[in-house]
Amino acid sequence: MDSQNVIKTLRIIGRHSCVGLTIGLLLVASLGMASRQSIQEGGTIRVVTSIPDLADLTSRIGGKLVSVESLAKGLEDPHGVPIKPSFLPKLNRADVLVVMGLAHEHAWLNALVQTARNPNILPGNPGLIDCSLHIAPKQIPLTLSRREGDLHPQGNPHYNLDPLNAILMAQAIAEGLSRVYPTGQSAFEANFKKFQAHLTQRIVEWQTLAKSFRGVKFVSYHQDTIYFAERFGLIEAGHIEIRPGIEPTQRHLISLVNTMKKEGVTLILREPYFGEQLPNWVAQQTGARVAKFLIMVGGNSGVKTYEDLIDFNLRSIQQAIQSVNQEHS
């Protein structure tokens, strides 16, 4: 059976973890994947990341000692990345897998990792780097129920949108790469310190840029803005989704519009993998402005680095707020 058919089969059986993984292991055995080779002295570490942000950070911490590629693309829903036939061979050959954790990728990546015939990247082994290691999660649910939507039991996993967390993510990456390749530890630590100093300075600049809209209330489509909002002084006033992963009803939208009018909410953040129709309709009803809000590197053609991501979001918000202010001046 070829890899395309394996992927199709995994999609069908993926929701039934025990059966899915057992059959998946048998299927992958027929792919003829190359056996993994140990990391050679002076060679490169083959790294696969779940999302582009982690690829950018890993490239900068690993430098010339790593080759890195991301499975997800910046415009995709990180909770539901379309599975491609190339994913299994990449995971099979990887020395390291870097993930967000906090169940960020659980809907699509976990079964692939279990099926890739690569014990080094399995949970508990040194080749799996979980970037949530040093993160203090927000919005940890008090109760778990399907009625509450697609909840994340360990907390909101979109912590990458706070640049202070990016430093902690880079730290976890440096520590993880050092476990896998001790020879490169001094280089990884030096690259981390360089990144930390650089991003610390950029945070000062970003905080200055954000001063003009501290305290502004906003609505987003999905519950993925809390880390960014708290870092830069924005206030969440609601979401277009009823609950995470549950599309709105007419009743919910009318209630949201009324709340926005009552509280003077003039900003709507729209993530790129959601359509424009509903945010634009809410904007028309309330006089708010819609700002494109990226949740990953690569969500726009000019956003190629982590700094580009934060720059884009801050300036997108700034432009939307300026547009509202100009209309009312």
Contacting residues for 267 by C-beta, under 8 A, at least 6 apart:
216, 217, 218, 219, 234, 288, 289, 291, 317, 320, 321, 324
pLDDT confidence band for 139 (50 / 70 / 90): confident
d(CA 222, CA 293): 11
pLDDT of residue 281: 97
State yes or no: pLDDT of 25 exceeds 60: no
Give one DSSP letter per residue of 14-81, joined into a string: TTSHHHHHHHHHHHHTTS-PPPP-PPPTT--EEEEESSHHHHHHHHHHHGGGEEEEESS-TTS-TTSP
Q: pLDDT digit string (tens) for 60-88? A: 999 999 999 999 999 999 988 999 999 99
pLDDT of residue 327: 76
State yes or no: pLDDT of 41 exceeds 60: no
* Domains delineated in the chain: 3-31+40-136+149-202 (3.40.50.1980), 205-328 (3.40.50.1980)
Chain-centroid distance of CA 182 in Å reads 28
Which residue type does 215 have? G
State yes or no: pLDDT of 36 exceeds 60: no
User: Which residues lie across from 196 on neighbouring strands?
Assistant: none
d(CA 296, CA 146): 27
d(CA 94, CA 183): 18
Q: pLDDT digit string (tens) for 244-300? A: 888 999 999 999 999 999 999 999 999 998 989 999 999 999 999 999 999 999 999
pLDDT of residue 130: 98
